[in-house]
């Protein structure tokens, strides 16, 4: 990230319609935007679609930002980017009129084990999820996961890609991907149990 004063100078120039400064700011936030876009799943959206939404939010933030503010532009911009994605997700869910994600807790893993089977316990988490807050609970639990755990869960169950593909994509060993996947499921189960109480 650019130092605060240098970034603020670019913001001022961009507000004066300097295209080079605008592009420099966008480039500065590319890494953050890609990471944020990759951490969210909206059915039917590609990462590129989410990046476009983020870029639009960033540009709006640049022109709305008051350079006299004491808070850093970085905080203002990252908040605007996150809010844009959250609003898009909220809009998508509203359009579906409360329908569930096109993701089933009965999706199978490589070993023909259902996702829900990995979450079952003596506390009957399955019944709690289905009878209480179902998708809202799952969505809240996924949001609470660390980024790398949420990424592998979304990759394997929402995008329905294999752990082998994930390992290749992340340039890690397959065994590492399997361990991360197992830890992610364990953590997700713990969060769901906590939320469902």
Q: Do 67 and 138 fall within a single domain?
A: no
Domains identified in the chain, total number: 2
- With residues binned 3-state (H G I as helix, E B as strand, rest as coil), the percentages for the chain, rounded to 5, are 70, 0, 30
Q: Do 50 and 89 fall within a single domain?
A: yes
Q: Do 90 and 151 fall within a single domain?
A: no
Higher pLDDT, 65 or 109: 65
Please state, in angstroms and rounded to a whole number, the distance separating the CA atoms of residues 158 and 43: 8
pLDDT at residue number 124: 42
Q: Would you say residue 41 lies in a domain?
A: yes
Q: Who contacts 67 (Cβ-Cβ below 8 Å, separation ≥6)? A: 8, 11, 12, 15
CATH number, domain at 83? 1.10.1740.10
Is 0.75 surpassed by the pTM of this model? no
Query: pLDDT tens across 17-47, in order?
Result: 888 888 999 998 998 899 888 888 777 888 8
CATH number, domain at 175? 1.10.10.10
Higher pLDDT, 120 or 67: 67
Query: pLDDT tens across 123-137, in order?
Result: 444 343 344 445 667
Q: Would you say residue 154 lies in a domain?
A: yes
Query: Which range marks the domain in which residue 173 is found?
Result: 116-196
pLDDT at residue number 126: 39
Whole-number mean pLDDT of the chain? 76
Q: Do 64 and 135 fall within a single domain?
A: no
Query: pLDDT tens across 129-161, in order?
Result: 344 445 667 778 888 888 888 888 888 777 778
């Amino acid at each position: 990230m650019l130092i605060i004063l240098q970034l603020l100078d670019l913001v001022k120039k961009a507000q004066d319609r300097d295209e080079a400064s605008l592009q420099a700011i966008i480039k500065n936030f590319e890494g953050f935007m890609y990471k944020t876009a990759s951490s969210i799943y909206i059915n039917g959206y590609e990462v590129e679609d989410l990046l476009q939404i983020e870029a639009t939010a960033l540009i709006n933030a640049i022109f709305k930002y008051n350079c006299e503010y004491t808070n850093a532009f970085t905080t203002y911009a990252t908040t605007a980017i996150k809010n844009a994605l959250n609003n898009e997700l909220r809009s998508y869910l509203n359009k579906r009129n409360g329908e569930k994600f096109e993701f089933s807790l009965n999706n199978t893993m490589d070993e023909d084990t259902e996702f829900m089977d990995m979450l079952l316990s003596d506390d009957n988490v399955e019944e709690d999820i289905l009878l209480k807050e179902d998708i809202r609970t799952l969505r809240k639990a996924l949001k609470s996961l660390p980024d790398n755990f949420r990424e592998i869960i979304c990759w394997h169950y929402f995008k329905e890609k294999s752990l082998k593909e994930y390992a290749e994509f992340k340039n890690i060993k397959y065994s590492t991907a399997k361990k991360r996947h197992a830890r992610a499921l364990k953590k997700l189960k713990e969060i769901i149990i906590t939320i469902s109480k």
